[in-house]
Every structure is written in structure tokens, then in C-alpha cells.
Structure 1
């Protein structure tokens, strides 16, 4: 594992968004130049690329599509200088069969493969881990809070939106990637746009991605939001991983309380704040999204999917599917053809 520290007195400050600090730092570490904003990984390091799209002085987009042979960690220093910077990331968003390796059921079982969309304050993004031997496929948008506030152009923001744009407290909110987000991501990655129109095109698509995420977040009804720290975030993701280790077994709250080291109330409140649902509902929603993916992508019959998901009663499976997906499974299968 290589560890890279970014200090203010170095030649480049990671927090200088105008210079695309991460991509520049990696380019120097690898000893390869950027070519038109693209870092192509040398074969001895891994494969793939990171592409930087400079939208304007308040927003940049990074497309990460690579696999490393050796884990690397980037430690961000002087984060307080960029406390108004917001990170919006869409992880594991490119469709891939990578998750099916050694998994005959085709089901996702961990956060490694979970397509997710999150928005967070930069203070919770101090350490970036680039894992080895795992496909990284992400679109990351770095945007300043004042610019996002200007885009929203509203005087009556919800408590959640106000938390995001105010810069007054640390936050992290995550959603499972929707099919619309995934389709839009594919358009961004595969776009062939004339040079003189790239700024216009990618700005529109990036703002649409942000819009799609905010639409999902605004479905939440939190009236109060607690400040969250990096240690809490790590615990939440460890709990989430444990829940999804075996989706055929519902989570036991008592076990998760012991596992997290938190009180029952703190665990439940923070989990819902970060992931937008209770622990049990999140688990069920994930199962049904997996079922929907199998119906849509693999053309498996509804009864087969219900059996794979561990349901002996297909009527129960149908009701649960409709609750979380919005359609009965047979209707969903017809719409997916």
C-alpha cells in the first residue's frame, strides 16, 4: 500500500480545485503526464484512467474508471481551507459483470459493488482509498456550496438542502443509484462532443446528475439533522456492509448495536440520516432492487427471482416488490422488455 500525503507547502495543494489536485498528484506519483486532462494508468500501476472535466471555477467533474495493482491512500491536509467544498460522488455507476465473479446467484453482497450516490462535506473526505484489484468506476463532482446555492435559486430550502449549502456542519447523505442516474452516467462517459461544446454539454449533464440525486434526497422527511464526524461515517458503512453480507438473512438490531459500539438510538438515527431509511427497510429495499436488476438484466422469470431471493411465498414477494419498486414484479418484467 502506498500512502500519499498532501501538504500545503508542497508544490501542489490537494484542496486547490482549480488544479484538480488528486489527478495531478497521482500523475506525479506515477511519473506520467496528463494528456488533455486525462491520466492514463501505466501497465505496471494498473489499467484505466481518470479524466478531469473543468466546468468552471466553481465546479469540476472527474471520471474514474480504473483498476490498481496496489492499494493507494491519499491523505487530505488543510481541509479547513475548503470547508465550503461539496463532494458529490456516484460510485460503481458503470454497468459491469465484475460483481458476478464467484457469485453464482448474481446478487450483490457488499458495498464494494453497490452502485451508490452520495453528497458530503469535504471534511468527511480526508482520506481517499484507491483499492487494489477492484474495478473503480465513479463520477465525482466537486462543487462549491455558494455555486450550488445559486443553481438552486430558492429562498425556501428544506432543512436538508439548507444543511448542504450552509457550510455550517458536516454531513453525508447517500442513496442507491437509480436507473436514470446510471443511464445518464453512461452518456457522460461515452459522449463524443465537439471540443467547443464540451463545457456546455458536461455542465448540463453534471447539473442533471445533481438534480436526480437531490430529487431522491428530498423524498426524506427529516426535520432535524445531527452533525456527523468521520468516525461515525466509518461505523455506518461497516454496519451497512454487515447488513448486506448475506441478504437472505434479515439484520438483527441487537447484533448491529454490539457490532457498532453505539447506543441503539444513535445507531438507528444516524443510519437513517445517512442512508435515508431504517435499517430493516434499507435491507428490504436493497433486496428488491436486486430482484428488479435480475428481472431487467438477466430476463429471469419472476418465480425464479423470488426463489433466489429466499421467498417461499410468491404473493409475499410480489407485495414486497411493489412496495419498494412501485410495480408488481410481472408488470415490471413487461415494462423492462
Structure 2
């Protein structure tokens, strides 16, 4: 992949949206910032960055691809940000690159949390968090940390609502603050639940993790007509029971639980375009009937699809006023 070489220094103080990417940088309140990326790239772009004392960052990837490479005294880390990818990280005194391949659209949300905000949220539960994060309680700054999480439906919904905020002025500021705090609460709950399990879920080795990620890719290639569980397991060289257990350990749900989540998220994105009615969306995303789809949508997002579609219409009306 050929890349551009534009340089963008990123530091904690005065952190901005990377040069060459369309987006917004919003100060929610002291110690809590929001970066909104929504851009179309005509050519590959490579951005270089450096950090000093770094915040705790929550990143929610909704559309498009981006590749991160980070190097510091603790070693290196390289990973892809893909749709549905949610990661918590802190990379103090590091340098690296963010690579964006040419693509129709890249959409992501990042929440940057300074130590004082993190401390105020978890000051009475410090014994429940990961050792890499516990240092913030001792010296007031974050050490190196990287942890991918499954993006909960509620997180996906809140992140998309931030990107699609129809308000302006004070109403916009209040809306973005409420949704950012919602994401923070959801993450802290997820973080504490993960720590409190005490590794009760089965460990997944590197080879099996690679196979499971490949199975996920196969599953989503044709999510309207996916392979059966046995076919999928055969494609990646695993038994169906081991594949299901591994999926639950990595993604928090079974193979077809994950597929259902993906179908529902795709249906929600289709509603945003308002080009199809609910029945058409149900069949386009692989549901057997509109009633089955409506029940699944309600269980997943906590709202009927008809009510959600009405809310989208009202938002558009506000934007046109």
C-alpha cells in the first residue's frame, strides 16, 4: 500500500483532529474530550504522531479501516481498527503512525479521559481494575495499556448518535456531553465486569484466536446467507463447540449471537439512509420476517424499529429548520 507522509504531532495538551482527516475536537469538560472523525479519503494517508503523558482513550470504530503502529520503551503494538472494534488504550511517551487506506468513508469516535476524571469515577473500586491501570492511583498518570473490548449495542448506538447529532449551539453541547458520559459509564461498567470475572472464561491461544477472527470474517462476508456453524468450523479447522466457546470468550456471545448483532447494526444503518421501509430492511439483513426483525431489534436496542425510524425522521426535520 502506497502511503502519504503528512506529519501530525499529537500531544495531550491541545490535542486536535489529525491533519488530513475531516472531524471535530470537542472539549466536553475539564479532563474529558471528544474527537469525532467522519471523512472520505481519495488516497492513502499516513500520519505520524508523538505523545507525552497520555490520556486514557476509548475508541469506537464504526466505518472504514485504519491501522495503528505504536512504539515505546515497553515495545511495539500494531493493530487494525475495523467496524465494530472498540479499544481502551493509553500510550504515554510513544511514537507511531496511523494509516488510512483510500476508502469511501471512515467514521470513529474517541473519548480522551485525563487521570483526574478517571480517578473520580473509580476512586472506591481501584482494587477491581487491571494492574496496568492501577498506577494512576499511585502516581496520577497512566502507564501503557491496550485492551480490545466487544462493542456493546448501546455503545454503537450512542457513538452513532454523536456522529449524527442534529443540534446546534447549547443544545448540541449538552447532547454531546450526555452521550460522551453515557459511553464512559458503559465502558467503566464493562471494565469492572471484566475484572470481576477473575478470568472465569476459557483462555484462547494465539492460533485459535486467529482462526476465530477468520471465522468472523467468513461469517460477515455474506451475513444474509451465512454458512452453518459446522461449515464455518470446518472452514477454519476447529470443532463447532470450540469455535462457539472461543467466540464467546473473545466477542462475549456465540457465533450466531454475533451474527444477529451485526445484522441488527446493519439494519440500523439502513434506517439512517431512509431508502427502504422496515419490511425491506428486515429481509435485506437476513431476517425471516418483519415481526421477527422487530422483536430482535427491540431486544437489542430497547426501541421498536418503527419508533427509531420516526426519531430519525424528526432529527432530519430539525436539521432542515
**Per the shorter chain, which TM-score range?**
0.5 to 0.7
The equivalent residue for 1:247 is: 223
Is 1:280 aligned to 2:256, yes or no? yes
Deviations 1:75-131 (A, max 9, x none): 667x8x76x6432123338xxxxxxxxxxxxxxxxx96x4x4723224699652212
Against the structure 1 CA distance between its residues 137 and 263, is the aligned structure 2 distance closer, same or farther, given a 3 Å change threshold? same
Partner of 1:151 in structure 2?
A: 120
CA distance in 2, matches of 1:185, 1:290: 16
Contact 1:118 1:174 in 2 (8 A): yes
* Length-normalised TM-score, structure 2: 0.59
Asked whether the equivalents of residues 173 and 273 of structure 1 are also in contact (C-alpha less than 8 Å), the reply is: no
Indicate how the Cα distance of structure 1 residues 326 and 140 shifts in structure 2: closer, same or farther if over 3 A, else same.
Answer: closer
RMSD value, Cα: 5.1
For 1:201 and 1:325, the matched residues in 2 are separated by: 19
Q: 1:307 offset after TM fit, Å?
A: 3.5
Summarize the alignment of residues 56-205 of structure 1 with structure 2, pairs less than 5 Å apart.
58-74=31-47, 85-92=55-62, 114=83, 116=84, 118-122=86-90, 127-144=97-114, 146-156=115-125, 162=130, 165-166=133-134, 170-175=146-151, 176=153, 177-187=155-165, 191-192=168-169
Matches within 5 A, 1:215-226: 222-224=197-199
Q: Is the 8 A contact 1:86 1:119 kept in 2?
A: no
For structure 1, list consecutive stretches of 5 or more residues without a partner in the other structure.
Answer: 7-11, 27-40, 42-47, 94-110
Match among 13, 32, 44 for residue 18 of structure 1: 13
| Contact 1:2-1:71 at 8 Å conserved across structures | yes
Matched pairs, number? 277
1:140 aligns to what SS in structure 2? strand
TM-score, normalising length from structure 1? Answer: 0.57
SS at match of 1:92: strand
Residue 88 of structure 1 contacts residue 141 of structure 1 at CA under 8 Å; is this kept in 2?
A: yes
